[in-house]
Amino acid sequence: QVQLVESGGGSVQAGGSLLLSCAAFRYDVTTNVACMGWFRQAPGKEREGVAIIAGDGDTEYADSVKGRFTISKDNAKKTLYLQMNSLKPEDTGMYYCAAKYAARRNCGTRDDFDYWGQGTQVTVSS
């Protein structure tokens, strides 16, 4: 059974930074169809895709985080990361790590992933 475990959330002031991590268990992060991503859900809002990284290393970001967030993956550590800089209050929410096996053309920020972590809370105060 695939397990994804997030860590690194917390409270920070606007303009600050956080690094989220997601450790993957029983998921092959090295295959060229490994598709992993970060999603977030603010109170009262639908879950939205933040960033994805495909098996070929290609990345995709939501417009709202472009230039501020960076997704990356360490295959040796089987860990996915999300470096978040210049945080804004509107970045507040529960952040989820997600994974599936999919070719690049099917690896995007749509909410159709098969495996999900339990989430880590990010709170940005003004």
* Segment 82-116, tens digit of pLDDT: 999 999 999 999 999 999 999 999 999 999 999 99
Q: How far apart are CA 26 and CA 3, in angstroms?
A: 7
Q: How far apart are CA 123 and CA 100, in angstroms?
A: 27
CB-CB contact of 22 with 4 (8 Å)? yes
CB-CB contact of 37 with 50 (8 Å)? yes
Token duo for residue 58: 């290609």
pLDDT of residue 109: 92
pLDDT of residue 33: 96
Give the residue among 53, 47, 46 at the shortest CA–CA distance from 96. Answer: 47
Q: What is the pLDDT of residues 30-68, one digit of tens each?
A: 999 999 999 999 989 999 999 999 999 999 999 999 999
Token duo for residue 49: 């895709």
pLDDT of residue 12: 98
pLDDT of residue 124: 98
Q: How far apart are CA 119 and CA 42, in angstroms?
A: 12
Count of CB atoms situated within 10 Å of the CB of 66: 10
DSSP code of residue 105? G
